[in-house]
């Protein structure tokens, strides 16, 4: 297969970026999208050009490192697919593909397709945990947890922190990411003692980090490679009201 | 003689007695000790969080953009613990016994016993952290049998157990970062270790965004930098996983133990072509319900549903009736290679075997299978474009885990004073073969419940270690790192780092992969120095040392992989017995099973660097077995 790639190139955080066009040919349909970038990079390096910088690590859809906008879709036009899970058989031969980094004020571009997502870490640091020290836990079966609650917590906990929800949102909101952690911990009895403080602190950090507000577009769920539901955003809002009433 | 510092006394009491004898650091003094943790996976994140909870001053370094991304996250199947919640006869002793036996009698009994002891606390702690383990309708934790165990002792969170445990450790670490007890350095790579008078003083790092080299002094350094599976180029490891930190420690005098022990995992998605950049694991939990088979006849290219039952060979069930599809990984991998070598493999190139769920789907229903393995089936379908609910999966073994690592004593300290190694980065608990669901257990055991005790004893004994990072050893360390980077960038040859890495990986897979023999390893020993020579004369890089430069990072790692590969094949060559994941063709039974030589090789091979990389010095730590007496593993 052959493609024309229009790739965002930006030297560093302060530089002005632009699209650069690269034709690539001789690509097998079983090549993954990141392998396509590998092949292009090998060819660029062979002729002495600097390869395209992109984030990636596990290449099996779980670490959340990779991600960029492909033809305007976060990760992929395919449902529940990370960039590394996207394969070239999903494109048509000869297609032009536009590749750019996540676009959000809270995710500054570091180079080419790499962005700084440390704002996500700061949201977790402000309250996305249960404060327990190693050694002090009771027996694991001491507190029965209904299967439905455990399953709901797991649905929320499946978030890989890739940032596609922010990239897909017209407001660049981080509500899906934040709500997933809040919903996970609020679904479990272990999360209850810090429930009020947690939602207040995490939402406050989120708002101070430069993310936009949620206006119910639902683009986040559509883009989420793990299918995290927008129902968790409703849950976050309920937790916020709860915190306002009882906090 | 290497002293593993194994405490005296009955095995059941060793750890408790030892914990009591360990010196304590006064709570008010803990904040005066600075500990550096390199790596933020299960072992590193859990250790860093726990040390900070205790009051130490902790700094953490990882190459990823966030500690949540370490490759522990990709572990799928589960974590073992001897809770015996299923009332099926499990116990600490049984878990200990299974792990020593599974490791083919090449691990330390005392370490394994401690691991089996502390693992129950891990489950308690993770549940308290909010890890959403699978549960039964009554609200209790669910378990499954996993990877060669005859009891159901594996706890799991769908097919994402590693992710959930790592996010648990990450949340604990994040809490400490938020409290300012841990200073987190993401996108930082360790380039050199600073050692003075046999004691570790700190590290030299490169900020991967700015290119700046930095010096960081510490009273103790913990390496939690994972395994070296990527030496093979193709493996199930993340692309960034590397041996650099461990190998830098080796270069500074730490002993490297059993580098030839690598685990080839039986259930991975087969290679599709030259463009392939990594391999993907399919959890071996799939073997609980999937049946492995190949056609009985060579060269049978019919689609699987056209091959009648009578013409299928369920070779694991046939050869190992007691364990069937659940034999340990090394046995399952070699059997798959065997049937493919016979010409009965399936799929492109004949390098694959079927993993068939049709019977389980008929018996349990599609919904039940989807609940257990849904995300794995989805992952498989995305990569192969086949639907495993309809057609059998195709699987083939791939490099997955490395049992070898930095040699550590019972306290998890290397032979460099103050330098500790935990998780996959050390060698200690899995012998020559790791059982399924044991990696998560070991990483978290080391980080939450072992290292926090033993490191305190070291600090209490050695006292503070204030260092000036502006000159002396720190300065020469920065200069060495800087010179190496400059050298890589000035070669200006013709071949890319990936080209060298692929070449090295193929050589190792062919000579030091699933089976090894003397002449093959000798070829590798002759070829690796040639690859190294060419690398340092013909490497092509672009960009500058300042700022983000991914090919430069890769080049540094490949350089270390090349040097490390030499050590690995030397170890594989010297160990002329077969054991666990190390299968020497010269040493097998008439039936083709691995044949150990306990008289000659019942020891840990710990290698010390010498000026000639082809002749490292071998130190032996004898292994003695008082409880699990070595026998030929039989899974028949």
Q: What tens-digit pLDDT sequence spans chain A (247 residues)?
A: 999 999 999 999 999 999 999 999 999 999 999 999 999 999 999 999 999 999 999 999 999 999 999 999 999 999 999 999 999 999 999 999 999 999 999 999 999 999 999 999 999 999 999 999 999 999 999 999 999 999 999 999 999 999 999 999 999 999 999 999 999 999 999 999 999 999 999 999 999 999 999 999 999 999 999 999 999 999 999 999 999 998 7
What radius of gyration, in Å, describes the C-alpha atoms of chain B? 24
Closest Cα in chain A, distance from residue B117 (Å): 14
> Which stretch of DSSP H or E encloses residue A9?
strand A3-9
* Residues of B whose CB is below 8 A from A151: 132, 135
CB A157 within 8 A of CB B148: no
Tokens representing B204 are: 């030299």
| 8 A C-beta contact, residue B178 and residue B33 | no
Calculate the CA dihedral of residues B567, B569, B574, B579 and round it to 10 degrees.
Answer: 110
- pLDDT recorded at residue B471: 83
B635: pLDDT strictly greater than 80: no
Chain B: residue whose CA lies nearest to A126 = B178
Contact residues for B341 (Cβ-Cβ < 8 A; gap 6+):
none
> Are residues A132 and A242 both part of a single domain?
yes
**Cβ atoms < 10 Å from Cβ of B444:** 32
| Confidence (pLDDT) at B509 | 95
Kind and range of the H or E run holding B329:
helix B329-341
Alpha carbon distances (Å) from B468 to A237, B202, B223: 51, 10, 22
Longest dimension (CA), chain A: 64
Q: What is B472-599's CATH number, 1.10.10.60, 3.40.50.970, 1.20.58.100, 3.40.50.620?
A: 1.20.58.100
pLDDT digits (tens, 9 = 90+) for B216-256: 999 999 999 999 999 999 999 999 999 999 999 999 999 99
Both tokens of B619, joined, read 């130190």
Closest to B505 measured CA to CA, from B234, B274, B227, B271: B234
Rounded CA separation B167/A159 (Å):
10
Q: How many C-beta neighbours within 10 Å does residue B533 have? A: 11
Same domain, A56 and A167: no
The answer to whether the CB atoms of A150 and B128 lie below 8 A apart is no
What is the dihedral angle through the alpha carbons of B323, B326, B327, B333, rounded to the nearest 10 degrees? 150
The last residue of a domain, from among A75, A110, A145: A110
- Domain total of chain A: 2
At residue B157, φ and ψ (nearest 5 deg) are -125, 90
- Distance CA(B358)–CA(B367), nearest Å, equals 13
Unique residue bearing structure tokens 């082809």: B614
> Looking at the structure, do residues A133 and A235 belong to the same domain, yes or no?
yes
Asked whether residue A97 falls in the same domain as residue A69, the answer is yes
Confidence of residue B126 (pLDDT cuts 50, 70, 90): very high
Is the separation of the CB atoms in B258 and B403 below 8 Å? yes
* Distance of alpha carbon B274 from alpha carbon B290, whole angstroms: 29
Q: Which two tokens stand for residue A6?
A: 């229009």
Residues A97 and A124 in one domain: no
Residues A106 and A122 reside in one and the same domain? no
Query: Does residue B49 register a pLDDT over 80?
Result: yes
Token pair listed for B519: 């002449």
- Give the H/E segment covering residue B410: none
The kind and range of the H/E element at B56 are none
Sign of the torsion angle spanned by Cα atoms B573, B575, B581, B584: positive
Token pair listed for A33: 């999208």
Same domain as A242, residue A123: yes
Task: Give B144's strand partners.
Answer: B154
pLDDT of amino acid B145: 86
DSSP sequence for B47-70:
HHHHHHHHT-EEEEE-SSSSGGGS
C-alpha–C-alpha distance, residues B176 and B24, integer Å? 22
Q: Give the integer Cα–Cα distance in Å for B133 and B130.
A: 9
| pLDDT value of position A63 | 98
Q: Which of A129, A134, A145 sits opposite B139 (nearest CB)?
A: A145
Measured between its terminal Cα atoms, the distance across chain A in Å is: 59
A76 lies in the same domain as A131: no
Q: Which residues of B touch A194 (CB under 8 A)?
A: none
User: Best mutation site among B30, B171, B272 for testing chain A: the one with the most A CBs within 10 Å?
Assistant: B171
Give yes or no for a contact between B524 and B513, defined as CB atoms under 8 angstroms apart: no
Q: Give me the pLDDT at residue B159, please.
A: 85
Q: Considering chain B, what is the average pLDDT of its residues?
A: 95
A136 with A235, same domain: the answer is yes
Residue of chain B with shortest Cα separation from A89: B385
Host domain of residue A95: 3-110
Residues in chain A with CB shorter than 8 Å from the CB of B175 are: 125, 129, 131
- Chain A residues within 8 A of B50 when measuring between CB atoms: 133-134
Whether B592 shows a pLDDT value over 90: the answer reads no
Give chain A's radius of gyration (CA, Å): 20
- For A185, the 3-state DSSP assignment is helix
Lowest mean pLDDT, pick from A43-52, B141-150, B286-295, B477-486: B141-150
Q: Which residues of B touch A184 (CB under 8 A)?
A: 130, 132
DSSP assigned state of B270 = P
CB-based contact A179:A166 (threshold 8 Å): no
DSSP track, A15-39: SPPEEEEEEE----TT-BHHHHHHH
How many C-beta atoms surround the C-beta of residue B36 within 10 A? 26
Structure tokens at B493: 């040859």
Which pLDDT belongs to residue B329?
A: 86
Nearest to B168 by CA among A232, A188, A109: A188
Please tell me whether residue B612 adopts helix, strand or coil conformation. coil
In this structure, what CATH number is given to the domain that contains residue A181?
1.10.1060.10
Decide which of A69, A86, A110 is a domain's last residue.
A110
Are B548 and A114 inside 8 Å of each other by CB?
yes
Return d(Cα A32, Cα B382) in angstroms, integer. 10
Burial B338-374, CB ≥16 within 10 A → b, else e: ebbeeebbbbeebbbbbbbbeebbeeeeeeebeebbe
Same domain flag for A88 and A138: no
Domain boundary among A110, A126, A151: A110
A101 and A122 within one domain:
no
Share of chain B above pLDDT 90, in %: 89
Q: Where are the alpha helices (DSSP H) in A81-210?
A: 118-125, 147-157, 164-168, 175-186, 195-208
Q: A207-241 burial string, b = 16+ CB within 10 Å, else e?
A: eebebbebeeeebbbbbbbbebbbebbebbeebbe
**Residues A156, A95 share a domain:** no
Residue B74 has its nearest CB partner, among A60, A158, A184, at A60
Q: Residue B636: pLDDT above 90?
A: no
Backbone angles phi, psi at B413, to 5 degrees: -95, 140
Region B266-399: CATH code: 3.90.700.10
B603-608, strands of its sheet edge to edge: B405-406, B256-257, B603-608, B617-622
How distant is the alpha carbon of residue B534 from its chain centre? 29
Which DSSP state fits A89?
G
Q: Measured between alpha carbons, how far is B58 from B81 in angstroms, rounded to an integer? A: 29
Look up residue B75 and give its two tokens: 């572990």
> What's the CATH number where A62 sits?
3.10.20.30
Task: Tell me if residue A59 falls in helix, strand or coil.
Answer: coil
Q: Is A224 helix (H, G, I), strand (E, B) or coil?
A: coil
DSSP state at residue B447? I
pLDDT value for B467: 87
Could you tell me the pLDDT band of residue B374, with boundaries at 50, 70 and 90?
Answer: confident
Using a CB-CB cut-off of 8 Å, the residues of chain A touching B125 are 132, 134-135, 137
Give the pLDDT confidence of B400-434 residue by residue, as tens digits.
Answer: 999 999 999 999 999 999 999 999 999 989 999 99
Mean pLDDT (whole number) for B309-315 = 96
B364: pLDDT strictly greater than 90: yes
* d(CA A60, nearest CA chain B) in Å: 6
Pick the residue from chain B with its C-alpha nearest to A109. Answer: B209
Here the tokens at position B209 are 């965004």
pLDDT in tens, B71-116: 999 998 899 999 999 999 999 999 999 999 999 999 999 999 999 9
- CA B245 to CA B179: how far, in whole Å? 28
Which helix H or strand E contains B265, and what residues bound it? strand B262-268
Q: What does the alpha-carbon distance between residue B338 and residue B342 come to, in Å, rounded to a whole number? A: 6
CA distances B142 to A245, B136, B138, B375, B581, Å, are 37, 6, 10, 18, 30
What's the average model confidence in pLDDT over B148-169?
Answer: 93
């Amino acid at each position: 297969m052959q493609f024309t790639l229009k790739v965002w190139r930006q030297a560093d955080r302060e530089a002005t970026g632009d699209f650069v066009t690269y034709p690539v040919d001789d690509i097998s349909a079983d090549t993954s999208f990141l392998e396509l970038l590998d092949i292009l990079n090998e060819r660029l390096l062979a002729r002495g050009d600097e390869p395209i910088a992109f984030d990636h690590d596990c290449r099996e859809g779980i670490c959340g490192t990779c991600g960029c906008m492909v033809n305007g879709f976060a990760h992929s036009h395919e449902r529940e697919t990370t960039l590394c899970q996207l394969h070239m058989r999903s494109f048509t031969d000869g297609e032009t593909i536009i590749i750019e980094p996540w676009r959000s004020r809270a995710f500054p571009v570091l180079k080419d397709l790499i962005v700084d997502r440390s704002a996500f870490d700061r949201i977790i640091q402000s309250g996305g945990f249960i404060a327990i020290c190693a050694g002090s836990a009771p027996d694991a079966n001491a507190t029965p947890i209904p299967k439905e609650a455990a399953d709901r917590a797991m649905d929320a906990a499946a978030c890989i922190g890739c940032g596609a929800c922010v990239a897909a949102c017209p407001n660049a909101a981080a509500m899906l990411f934040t709500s997933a952690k809040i919903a996970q911990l609020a679904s479990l009895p272990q999360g209850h003692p810090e429930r009020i403080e947690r939602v207040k602190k995490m939402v406050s950090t989120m708002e101070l980090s430069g993310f936009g507000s949620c206006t119910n577009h639902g683009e986040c769920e559509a883009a989420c490679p793990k299918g995290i539901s927008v129902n968790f955003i409703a849950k976050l809002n309920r937790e916020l009201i709860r915190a306002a009433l009882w906090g | 003689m290497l002293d593993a510092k194994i405490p005296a006394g009955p095995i059941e009491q060793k750890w408790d007695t030892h914990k009591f004898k360990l010196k304590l650091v006064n709570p008010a003094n803990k904040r005066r000790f600075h500990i550096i943790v390199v790596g933020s996976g299960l072992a590193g994140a859990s250790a860093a969080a726990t040390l900070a909870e205790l009051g130490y001053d902790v700094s953490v370094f990882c190459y990823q953009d966030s500690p949540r991304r370490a490759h522990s996250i990709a572990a799928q199947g589960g974590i073992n613990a001897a809770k015996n919640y299923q009332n099926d006869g499990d116990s600490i002793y049984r878990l200990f016994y299974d792990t020593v036996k599974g490791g083919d009698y090449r691990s330390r009994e005392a370490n394994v016993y401690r691991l089996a002891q502390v693992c129950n606390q891990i489950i308690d702690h993770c549940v308290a952290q909010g890890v959403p383990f699978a549960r039964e309708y009554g609200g209790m934790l669910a378990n499954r049998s996993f990877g060669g165990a005859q009891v159901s002792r594996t706890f799991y969170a769908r097919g994402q157990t590693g992710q959930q445990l790592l996010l648990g450790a990450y949340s604990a670490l994040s809490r400490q970062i938020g409290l300012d007890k841990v200073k987190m350095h993401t996108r930082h790579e360790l380039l050199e270790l600073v050692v003075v008078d046999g004691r570790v003083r700190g590290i030299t790092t490169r900020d991967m965004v700015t290119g700046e080299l930095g010096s960081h002094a510490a009273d103790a350094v913990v390496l939690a930098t994972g395994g070296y599976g990527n030496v093979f180029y193709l493996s199930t490891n993340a692309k960034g996983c590397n041996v650099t930190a461990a190998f830098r420690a080796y270069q500074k005098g730490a002993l490297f133990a059993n580098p030839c022990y690598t685990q080839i995992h039986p259930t991975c998605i087969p290679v599709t072509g030259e463009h392939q950049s990594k391999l993907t694991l399919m959890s071996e939990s799939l073997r609980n319900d999937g049946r492995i088979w190949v056609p009985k006849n060579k060269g049978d290219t019919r689609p699987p549903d056209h091959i009648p039952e009578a013409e299928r060979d369920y070779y694991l069930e046939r050869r190992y009736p007691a364990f069937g599809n659940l034999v340990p990984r090394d046995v399952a991998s070699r059997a798959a290679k065997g049937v493919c070598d016979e010409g009965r493999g399936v799929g492109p190139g004949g390098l694959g075997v079927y993993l068939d769920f049709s019977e389980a789907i008929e018996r349990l229903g599609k919904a039940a299978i989807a609940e257990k393995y849904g995300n794995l089936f989805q992952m498989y379908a995305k990569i192969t474009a086949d639907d495993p609910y309809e057609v059998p999966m195709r699987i083939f073994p791939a490099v997955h885990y490395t049992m070898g690592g930095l040699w550590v004593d019972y306290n998890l300290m290397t032979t460099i004073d103050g330098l500790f190694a935990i998780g996959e980065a050390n060698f200690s608990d899995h012998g020559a073969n790791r059982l399924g669901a044991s990696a998560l257990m070991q990483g978290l055991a080391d980080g939450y419940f072992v290292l926090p005790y033993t490191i305190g004893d070291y600090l209490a004994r050695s006292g503070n270690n204030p260092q000036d990072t502006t000159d002396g050893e720190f300065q020469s360390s920065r200069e060495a790192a800087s010179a190496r980077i400059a050298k890589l960038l000035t070669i200006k040859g013709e071949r890319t780092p990936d080209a060298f890495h692929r070449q090295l990986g193929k050589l190792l897979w062919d000579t030091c992969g699933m089976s090894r023999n003397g002449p093959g390893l000798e070829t590798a020993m002759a070829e690796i120095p040639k690859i190294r020579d060419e690398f340092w004369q013909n490497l092509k890089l672009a960009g500058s040392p300042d700022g983000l430069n991914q090919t430069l990072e890769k080049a540094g790692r490949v350089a270390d992989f090349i040097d490390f590969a030499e050590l690995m094949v030397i170890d594989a060559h010297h160990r002329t017995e077969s054991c666990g994941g190390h299968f020497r063709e010269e040493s097998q039974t008439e039936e083709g099973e691995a044949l150990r030589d306990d008289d000659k090789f019942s020891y840990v091979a710990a290698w010390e660097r010498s000026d000639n990389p082809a002749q490292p010095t071998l130190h032996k730590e004898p292994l003695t077995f008082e409880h699990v007496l070595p026998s030929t593993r039989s899974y028949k």
